[in-house]
């Protein structure tokens, strides 16, 4: 009898728990653990509630479905006592939670067990499904226990748990029971708890996919129109770079609040969609939604570059009586100054009855934005109250103008300069090229952040000291706790591209992955540029394909890199793909496109793209565009057309353009045009020896040996006066610098030995013929 009861009652109940664990995913595992802890909480109130078979047994006996057996009761009670001893004192509970949980758990299990007892051949699935969700409903409904706080607070606010939530952000809300919970007025009501949980999940979203997942669950539970969640969802949409999602969700709300409108204004401004913000403001006015003091600064910011709309919003602010508000005045000053209307900005400032340090800072910044340092200084001297932001503003104004002497004088007067003030002076010295002072100031800084290191790195990069950039970056990683950001990596990757430091660039790529910046669009652009310039175009393509988001620089870098490596077909295909997604090309884009045409010899296509640039996109040709066209025509042997194009150029041709034509004259043996080109080159770069050598070769190919000898003599004289060349090479992740005819390198004898061997190889007849053909083919 005992065995039969054990098989028909105890084992089915255990099987329910086991199947919940075995068949459930990781979320069910979390829920089951919470369920076990919840049942242990009942120990202090009820003698043996943990072992649910006891409760089921009594309920079955009371309903007449079970035969009362003292022997069976004794066995179950013994099991329960063992659980009581094991779990005593582990957790505290409340009466309300006990009653709710016990009722839900016992009721659910009673239904399921009775299904077994009645001998149903097919078990209805809903009791097993409701089993973990009933426990979760109790957790959500009564947030008065440390377990609930762990699930609904720590679990959603802890970064480690957020990593788990990335793949299924709302798995905790996947319950129809929770979605139907009523809205209670109590602060601890289920609705309020769900709102707080969803708000935390929205803060954890980092991609549009995460956002859409949250949105689908929120809509399913009828929370998409919730006045508490709607502004947070809109803010998360803009933060994830999905303004379209924010706009669609906004349109689904019948009566948007002022707070939601303000969030939309702020998001549109951050995304650069200022016209959209103004259109939304007109819509807000038509609907009669009242604005508050935070609305006008956000809308005014959208009017930068739109003077008419800005004046209209200013008039509306006057009618609304908020013109003199401390939030509105700085926004008006910034708006007028951004449009160059500094006089209007000054009128707004003068009309303000009471001025604070914020308004003083705004008007001083306005004058500095138009490089009127004198007026800014006059206003600064009139201020009574000065905070660190005002000090930093005036110091940065002098630093941007290059007046570092005055900037240092003001910096010395700051009572307690913060790190922003130090960084401002550091950037000032870097911009004027005083790297010695920059290094000294960097060493004196009481503390350094990532912007301090970026300032020093940027100074070296701006003045072409790329090997110094790599040294400082290594120092930053080894001797400080500062974590690099995207600007740091972009600067260092640019230095690697200039130096050809491929191994260092690969290491930075791995480092970017380790700190989570490999998906950053700016870092991705830097990696594409670095790999392309270091000769690894396949790696650049791989980075491009892996980028989740691309901007115009991404397209330009990839098109230019493919063109530079002779893969013109792919470059033009990428350009067509760029146009198909309505990405507007700029001048840099067409430099890459025209370069691709040059490498492929597509004269007609090149002319077509040049016309497209000037006529369709209204881009004024740069000298780089003209250089590509001259090179394209010259390589095709259209020397007369190339010369005619040069003469029609809107700017004076530089030595690069004339050199392209000179190399073409060498290939096509046009002596007359070559002499004309050399005269132009002599005027621009009189000391360039290569030009005389090219003309000497042209004379030799035409049989004019005396003229060839004369050109070689001139080249020999110029070569004696030439500054020795310098080169850099990466060896074992170290950049080595060496000069022409330099004997200071510690391995000079090895270098010259290798050069001698290479020279002997180049003198071989077969190699010499190949070199001549190569020089004639590619200038």
Tell me the per-residue pLDDT of 544-586, one tens digit each, with 9 for 90 and over: 999 988 999 999 999 999 999 989 999 999 999 999 998 999 9
Hey, how many other C-beta atoms are within 10 angstroms of the C-beta on 39?
A: 19
Hey, how many other C-beta atoms are within 10 angstroms of the C-beta on 310?
A: 25
Comparing 356 with 104, the larger pLDDT belongs to: 356
Of 379, 375, 343, 341, nearest in space to 360 by CA: 379
| pLDDT for residue 471 | 92
Of 541, 548, 546, 551, nearest in space to 573 by CA: 541
Mean pLDDT of 20-39: 40
Residue 519 has pLDDT above 90, yes or no: no
Of 499, 544, 501, nearest in space to 523 by CA: 544
| pLDDT for residue 712 | 84
Of 450, 445, 447, 396, nearest in space to 425 by CA: 396
| pLDDT for residue 48 | 39
Of 178, 168, 172, 135, nearest in space to 152 by CA: 172
| pLDDT for residue 330 | 84
| pLDDT for residue 593 | 96
pLDDT band at 441 (very low <50, low <70, confident <90, very high): very high
| pLDDT for residue 255 | 85
Comparing 336 with 19, the larger pLDDT belongs to: 336
Tokens 């308004």 map to which residue? Answer: 359
pLDDT band at 740 (very low <50, low <70, confident <90, very high): low
| pLDDT for residue 735 | 60
Which of the residue ranges 102-111, 665-674, 746-755 would you say has the lowest mean pLDDT? Answer: 102-111
Q: pLDDT tens-digit profile of 491-514?
A: 999 999 999 899 999 999 999 999
pLDDT above 90: percentage of residues in the chain: 27
Residue 709 has pLDDT above 90, yes or no: no
pLDDT band at 521 (very low <50, low <70, confident <90, very high): very high
Residue 22 has pLDDT above 50, yes or no: no
| Residues near 306 by beta carbon (within 8 Å), at least 6 away in sequence | 274, 275, 278
| pLDDT for residue 10 | 56
* Helix/strand/coil (H/E/C) assignment for every residue in 526-566: HHHHHHHHCCCHHHHHHHHHHCCCCCHHHHHHHHHHHHHCC
Which of the residue ranges 182-186, 254-258, 676-680, 752-756 would you say has the lowest mean pLDDT? Answer: 182-186
| pLDDT for residue 188 | 45
Structure tokens at 17: 């728990």
| pLDDT for residue 42 | 40
Ramachandran assignment for 301, one of left (phi > 0), alpha (psi -120 to 50 degrees), beta (any other): alpha
Mean pLDDT of 439-460: 92
* Cβ atoms 688, 695 nearer than 8 A: no
Residue 49 has pLDDT above 60, yes or no: no
Rounded alpha-carbon distances, angstroms, from residue 257 to 199, 235, 262, 280, 288 = 18, 14, 9, 13, 11
| pLDDT for residue 280 | 87
Mean pLDDT of 152-166: 40
The DSSP 8-state label assigned to residue 480 in this structure reads -
| pLDDT for residue 217 | 72
Rg of the Cα trace of the chain? 38
Comparing 663 with 118, the larger pLDDT belongs to: 663
pLDDT band at 733 (very low <50, low <70, confident <90, very high): low
Residue 366 has pLDDT above 60, yes or no: yes
* Cβ atoms 650, 621 nearer than 8 A: yes
The DSSP 8-state label assigned to residue 341 in this structure reads -
Of 479, 409, 494, nearest in space to 448 by CA: 479
Mean pLDDT of 620-641: 92
| pLDDT for residue 724 | 58
Q: Which helix (H) or strand (E) holds 736?
A: strand 734-739
| Residues near 118 by beta carbon (within 8 Å), at least 6 away in sequence | none
Highest mean pLDDT (candidates 90-94, 97-101, 310-314): 310-314
Structure tokens at 68: 């009362």
Comparing 538 with 41, the larger pLDDT belongs to: 538
Q: CA-to-CA distance for 441 and 581, rounded, in angstroms?
A: 48
Mean pLDDT of the chain: 75
| pLDDT for residue 3 | 59
| Residues near 477 by beta carbon (within 8 Å), at least 6 away in sequence | 484
| pLDDT for residue 503 | 92
| pLDDT for residue 125 | 38
pLDDT band at 778 (very low <50, low <70, confident <90, very high): very low
pLDDT band at 30 (very low <50, low <70, confident <90, very high): very low
| pLDDT for residue 107 | 52
pTM of the model: 0.63
Mean pLDDT of 639-663: 90
Tokens 């045009």 map to which residue? Answer: 673
Q: Exposure of 107 by Cβ count < 10 A (0-12 exposed, 13-18 middle, 19+ buried)?
A: middle
Which of the residue ranges 416-430, 613-627, 711-725 would you say has the lowest mean pLDDT? Answer: 711-725
Structural domains in the chain?
A: 2-139 (no CATH), 255-385 (1.25.40.10), 626-727 (1.25.40), 743-779 (no CATH)
| pLDDT for residue 59 | 59
Q: pLDDT tens-digit profile of 234-255?
A: 888 888 888 888 888 888 888 8
Residue 607 has pLDDT above 90, yes or no: yes
Which of the residue ranges 136-145, 650-659, 736-745 would you say has the lowest mean pLDDT? Answer: 136-145
* Cβ atoms 570, 562 nearer than 8 A: yes
pLDDT band at 228 (very low <50, low <70, confident <90, very high): confident
């Amino acid at each position: 009898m005992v065995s039969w009861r054990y098989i028909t009652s105890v084992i089915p109940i255990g099987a329910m728990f086991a199947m919940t664990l075995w068949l459930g995913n990781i979320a069910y595992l979390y829920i089951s653990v919470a369920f076990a802890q919840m049942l242990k909480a009942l120990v202090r109130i009820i003698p043996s509630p943990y072992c649910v078979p006891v409760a089921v047994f009594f309920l079955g006996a009371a309903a007449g479905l079970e035969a009362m057996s003292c022997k069976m009761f004794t066995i179950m009670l013994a099991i329960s006592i063992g659980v009581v001893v094991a779990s005593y004192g582990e957790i505290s509970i409340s009466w309300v939670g006990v009653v709710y949980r016990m009722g839900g758990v016992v009721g659910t299990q009673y239904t399921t067990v009775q299904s077994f007892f009645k001998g149903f051949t097919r078990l209805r699935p809903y009791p097993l499904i409701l089993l973990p969700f009933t426990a979760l409903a109790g957790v959500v409904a009564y947030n008065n226990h440390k377990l609930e706080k762990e699930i609904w607070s720590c679990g959603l606010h802890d970064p480690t748990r957020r990593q788990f939530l990335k793949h299924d952000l709302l798995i905790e809300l996947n319950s129809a029971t929770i979605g139907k919970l009523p809205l209670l007025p109590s602060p601890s009501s289920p609705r309020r708890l769900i709102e707080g949980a969803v708000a935390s999940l929205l803060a954890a979203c980092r991609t549009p996919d995460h956002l859409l997942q949250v949105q689908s669950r929120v809509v399913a539970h009828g929370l998409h129109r919730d006045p508490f969640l709607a502004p947070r969802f809109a803010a998360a949409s803009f933060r994830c770079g999905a303004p379209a999602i924010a706009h669609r969700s906004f349109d689904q709300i019948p009566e948007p609040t002022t707070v939601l409108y303000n969030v939309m204004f702020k998001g549109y401004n951050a995304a650069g969609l200022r016209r959209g913000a103004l259109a939304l403001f007109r819509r807000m006015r038509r609907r009669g939604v009242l604005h508050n003091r935070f609305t006008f600064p956000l809308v005014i910011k959208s009017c930068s570059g739109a003077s008419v709309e800005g004046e209209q919003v200013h008039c509306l602010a006057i009618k609304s009586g908020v013109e003199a508000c401390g939030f509105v005045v700085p926004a008006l000053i910034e708006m007028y100054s951004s449009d160059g209307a500094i006089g209007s900005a000054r009128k707004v400032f003068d009309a303000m009855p009471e001025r604070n340090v914020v308004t003083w800072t705004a008007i001083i910044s306005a004058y500095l934005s138009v490089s009127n340092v004198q007026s800014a200084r006059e206003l600064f001297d009139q201020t009574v109250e000065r905070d660190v932001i005002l000090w930093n503003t005036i110091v940065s104004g002098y630093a941007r103008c290059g007046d570092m002497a005055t900037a240092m004088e003001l910096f010395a007067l700051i009572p307690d300069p913060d790190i922003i003030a130090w960084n401002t002076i550091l950037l000032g010295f870097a911009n004027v090229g005083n790297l010695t002072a920059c290094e000294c100031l960097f060493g004196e800084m009481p503390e350094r952040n990532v912007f301090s290191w970026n300032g020093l790195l940027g100074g070296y990069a701006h003045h072409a000291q790329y090997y110094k950039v790599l040294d400082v970056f290594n120092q930053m990683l080894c001797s400080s706790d500062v974590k690099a950001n995207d600007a740091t990596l972009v600067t260092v990757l640019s230095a690697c591209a200039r130096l050809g430091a491929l191994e260092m660039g690969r290491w930075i790529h791995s480092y970017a992955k380790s700190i989570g910046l490999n998906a950053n669009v700016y870092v991705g652009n830097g990696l594409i540029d670095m790999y392309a310039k270091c000769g690894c175009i396949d790696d650049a393509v791989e980075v491009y394909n892996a980028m989740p988001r691309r901007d115009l620089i991404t397209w330009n870098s990839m098109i230019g890199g493919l063109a530079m490596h002779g893969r013109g077909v792919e470059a033009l295909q990428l350009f067509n793909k760029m146009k198909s997604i309505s990405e507007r090309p700029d001048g840099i884009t067409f430099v890459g496109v025209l370069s691709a045409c040059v490498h492929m010899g597509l004269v007609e296509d090149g002319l077509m793209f040049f016309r497209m640039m000037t006529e369709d996109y209204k881009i004024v040709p740069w000298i780089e565009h003209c250089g590509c066209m001259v090179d394209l025509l010259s390589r095709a042997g259209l020397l007369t057309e190339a010369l005619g194009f040069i003469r029609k150029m809107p700017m004076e041709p530089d030595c690069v353009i004339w050199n392209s034509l000179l190399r073409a004259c060498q290939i096509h043996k046009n002596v007359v045009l070559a002499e004309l080109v050399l005269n132009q080159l002599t005027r621009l770069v009189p000391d360039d020896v290569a030009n005389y050598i090219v003309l000497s070769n042209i004379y030799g190919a035409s049989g004019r040996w005396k003229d060839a000898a004369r050109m070689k003599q001139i080249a020999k004289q110029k070569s004696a006066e030439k500054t020795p060349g310098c080169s850099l090479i990466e060896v074992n992740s170290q950049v080595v610098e060496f000069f022409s005819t330099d004997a200071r390198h510690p391995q000079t004898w090895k270098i010259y030995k290798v050069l001698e061997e290479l020279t002997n190889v180049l003198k071989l007849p077969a190699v010499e013929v190949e070199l001549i053909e190569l020089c004639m083919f590619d200038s």
